[in-house]
Amino acid sequence: MMSIWSPGSWFASFRVVAVLALVALAGASYACGGASEDLTPVDGADESARRVEAVDPIAEADADWPGHVTQILELIRIDDGILQLRFAILNHGPEGTVTSLEALGSAPGDEGTVADVHLVDPEGTKKYFVLRDAEGRALCSRDLEPLASGGRVELWARFPAPADDVASIDVYVPRAPAFVGVPIPPRSPTVSR
């Protein structure tokens, strides 16, 4: 019988422990949000977008940029008083086409963000702007980079939530037509990001 400390068994044991650690880490990541993870930057890191599990869009439309499509992926109540929008922009333009996304955040201090995206409740006649942190930074995707042909970027923004009885809202993404009547599902008691 081989001792656990023999060179051959030690390496095999190490591999088993390493695999188990990776499985546990992956499981913890999934349990903490995984495919539908919180999209805010972690530990102060700025990220323009995170790749998340592919979702069928709620709505999509051709953008003002030739060959581009804007998709609404998700609009959900994530906490009391907060609504989160996830959307994507796809560049189906000719090869070599690179599109600047600076139109999505054009005010001073908002360059490289999607802070110009907004929501409108036409019945309540109220316009909702992207939330801001204590330092005035927009709570949305930031550090946007140009989008090359064949590329796709998923973006997010957080807004003050309308009243609970508002079941749909209009979404305005610069350079895309208005997305009218985007449904807001009721808040699930388990959703909190």
Q: How far apart are CA 120 and CA 29, in angstroms?
A: 35
pTM assigned to the model: 0.70
Q: How far apart are CA 170 and CA 151, in angstroms?
A: 26
73, 187 contact by CB (below 8 A): no
User: Taking 60 as the threshold, does the pLDDT of residue 73 lie above it?
Assistant: yes
Q: Categorize the per-residue pLDDT at 186 as very low, low, confident or very high, splitting at 50, 70 and 90.
A: confident
Q: How far apart are CA 75 and CA 91, in angstroms?
A: 22
Question: String of b and e for 157-177 (b: at least 16 CB within 10 Å)?
Answer: bbbebbeeeeeebebebbebe
What tokens were used for 169?
């809202």
pLDDT tens per residue across span 114-167 = 999 999 999 989 999 999 999 999 999 999 999 999 999 999 999 999 999 999
Positive or negative: CA dihedral 163, 188, 193, 119: negative
- Can you name the residues that pair with 89 across neighbouring β-strands? 70, 153
Q: How far apart are CA 43 and CA 191, in angstroms?
A: 22
User: Taking 90 as the threshold, does the pLDDT of residue 53 lie above it?
Assistant: no
Q: How far apart are CA 146 and CA 113, in angstroms?
A: 12
Percentage, residues of the chain above pLDDT 90 = 62
Average pLDDT of the chain is 78
User: Taking 80 as the threshold, does the pLDDT of residue 60 lie above it?
Assistant: yes
Measured in degrees and rounded to the nearest 5, phi and psi for residue 65 equal: -70, 125
